């Protein structure tokens, strides 16, 4: 299956981190992607960073299409300008979405000392669980950055799933799940290339049918 990693949507209402604009998409781009994945069991959706667009833009469009997604907010930014607040987090859960942890700030989890590691890997999921009312056991390391040490630490702490960003196909029940990032230049060609299996089949079927039609005319 394909797992998409989505960042912010629409116009940012806060200053973005350097390079972060690469992962922002327009409302129209998001809608095209959501339309392409509606009804597909082989595609999963995740949203990183906990931008306020998760609740304001993505949530209603997911609900409208009967889609669910897993959200990975930053615990330390809950309630800050441009990010979801506690009420938004609960709205996501009430609408059937799941919550995982993206940490407290936006640190590379491979380079954490003791105190910082506890905040990023323990305090963050704990706060997210308290605020959302659900256990938080899935993790999406910022920047998709991980190493063996981090993975064994997450395993020991009971992580049920860890999402990365190297793209490609994911196995349905894998513990380490590669995701494909939505980037600012996503267009129909990208959608066809990444999510196009079904369209590809349709296209092949279409070619076959037109050949049959041509033969029938002879
Ligand atoms: Zn992030």
Q: What is the mean pLDDT of residues 49-75?
A: 98
Same domain, 109 and 161: yes
pLDDT band at 58 (very low <50, low <70, confident <90, very high): very high
Shared domain check, 211 and 151: no
pLDDT in tens, 86-95: 999 999 999 9
What's the CATH number where 85 sits? 3.20.20.370
Work out the mean pLDDT of the chain and round it to a whole number.
92
**How far, in Å, CA of 31 to CA of 28, rounded?**
5
Pairing relationship of beta strands 176-178 and 161-164 according to DSSP bridges: parallel
Please report how the helices 188-195 and 27-37 are oriented relative to each other, as an axis angle in degrees rounded to 10: 30
Mention every residue, 6+ apart, whose C-beta is less than 8 A from residue 206. Answer: none
Give residue 139 CA to ligand 1 midpoint distance, Å.
11
| pLDDT average, residue stretch 160-172 | 95
Q: Are 41 and 68 in contact (CB under 8 A)?
A: no
- The residue among 113, 121, 112 whose CA lies nearest residue 139 is 121
Domain containing residue 198? 188-218
**Total number of domains in the chain:** 2
Q: From residue 163, how far is each of 44, 141, 170, 217 by CA, in Å? A: 12, 7, 10, 53
pLDDT tens digits along 181-206? 999 999 999 999 999 865 544 445 55
pLDDT digits (tens, 9 = 90+) for 105-125: 999 999 898 999 999 999 999
Q: Are residues 195 and 132 in the same domain?
A: no
Residues around ion ligand 1, judged by CB within 5 A, are: 48-49, 142
* pLDDT value, residue 209: 53
pLDDT at position 140: 98
Q: In this structure, are 63 and 9 located in the same domain?
A: yes
Q: Please tell me whether residues 19 and 61 are part of one structural domain.
A: yes
pTM, rounded to two decimals:
0.89
Are 81 and 160 in a shared domain?
A: yes
Residue 20 CA to ligand 1 center (angstroms) comes to 8
Q: Is 133 helix (H, G, I), strand (E, B) or coil?
A: coil
Q: Which residue has the tokens 């959302």?
A: 132
pLDDT in tens, 1-44: 999 999 999 999 999 998 899 999 999 999 999 999 999 999 99
3-state helix, strand, coil in the chain (%, to 5): 45, 15, 40
Name the helix (H) or strand (E) containing 200. Answer: helix 197-217
For residue 27, CA distances in Å to 34, 68, 74 come to 10, 17, 22
CA gap 120, 101 in Å, rounded: 9
Gap from CA of 19 to ligand 1 centroid (Å): 11
């Amino acid at each position: 299956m394909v797992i998409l990693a989505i960042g912010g949507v629409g116009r940012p209402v806060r200053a973005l981190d350097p390079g972060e604009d690469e992962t922002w998409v327009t409302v129209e781009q998001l809608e095209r992607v959501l339309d392409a994945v509606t009804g597909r069991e082989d595609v999963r959706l995740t949203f990183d960073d906990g931008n306020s667009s998760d609740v304001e833009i993505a949530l209603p469009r997911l609900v409208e299409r009967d889609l669910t997604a897993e959200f990975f907010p930053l615990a330390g930014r809950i309630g800050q300008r441009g990010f979801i607040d506690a009420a938004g987090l609960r709205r996501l859960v009430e609408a059937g979405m799941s919550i995982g942890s993206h940490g407290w700030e936006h640190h590379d989890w491979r380079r954490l000392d003791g105190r910082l590691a506890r905040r990023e890997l323990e305090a963050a999921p704990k706060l997210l669980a308290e605020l959302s009312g659900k256990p938080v056991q899935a993790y999406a390391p910022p920047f998709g950055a991980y190493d063996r040490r981090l993975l064994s630490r997450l395993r020991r702490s009971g992580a049920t799933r860890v999402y990365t960003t190297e793209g490609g196909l994911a196995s349905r029940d894998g513990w380490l799940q590669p995701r494909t990032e939505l980037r600012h230049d996503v267009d129909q060609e990208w959608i066809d290339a990444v999510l196009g299996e079904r369209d590809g089949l349709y296209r092949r079927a279409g070619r076959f049918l037109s050949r049959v039609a041509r033969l029938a005319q002879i």
